[in-house]
Chain A
Amino acid sequence: MVDQSAVGRCFTPVTARVEPGRLRYFFNTLGETNPVYRDGAAAQAEGYTALPAPPTYLFCLEMMDAAEPFEFLTALGIDIARVLHGEQRFNYLAPVVVGDTLTFRPRVTSVTDKKGGAMTLVVIETEVTNQHGAHVADAARTIVVRNEVAA
Chain B
Amino acid sequence: MVAAVGDRVVHKAFPPITRHTLALYCGASGDHNPIHVDLDFARKAGFPDVFAHGMLVMAYLGQALTDAVRPSSIRSFSTRFAAITQLGAQLTCEGHVAELLEQNGERRMRLSLTTKDETGEIKLAGEAIVAL
Where the two chains meet, the residues of A that have a C-beta atom closer than 8 Å to any C-beta of B are 22, 25-26, 28-32, 34, 36-37, 46-48, 52, 54-56, 59-66, 69-70, 80-82, 84-92, 95
Verify A54–B31 contact, CB threshold 8 A.
no
List, in ascending order, chain A residues with CB within 8 A of B121's CB.
none
Question: Is B33 engaged at the interface, CB distance under 8 Å to the other chain?
Answer: yes
Verify B27–A25 contact, CB threshold 8 A.
yes
Verify B66–A82 contact, CB threshold 8 A.
no
Verify B30–A64 contact, CB threshold 8 A.
yes
Q: Given A29-B25, A46-B70, A87 and B59 touching (CB < 8 A)?
A: no
Where the two chains meet, the residues of B that have a C-beta atom closer than 8 Å to any C-beta of A are 14-15, 21, 24-25, 27-35, 41, 44-45, 53-56, 58-60, 62-63, 65-67, 70-72, 74-81, 84
Looking at the assembled complex, report how far the CB atom of B1 sits from the nearest CB atom of chain A, in whole angstroms.
Answer: 14
- Bound-state Cα–Cα, A60 to B32, Å: 11
Q: Given A29-B28, A81-B41, A54 and B75 touching (CB < 8 A)?
A: no
- Bound-state Cα–Cα, A54 to B84, Å: 23
* The residue from A48, A56, A70, A85 contacting B59, defined by CB atoms under 8 A apart: A56
Verify B54–A54 contact, CB threshold 8 A.
no
* The residue from A46, A64, A80, A82 contacting B29, defined by CB atoms under 8 A apart: A64
List, in ascending order, chain B residues with CB within 8 A of A29's CB.
21, 24-25, 27-28
- Bound-state Cα–Cα, A60 to B59, Å: 10
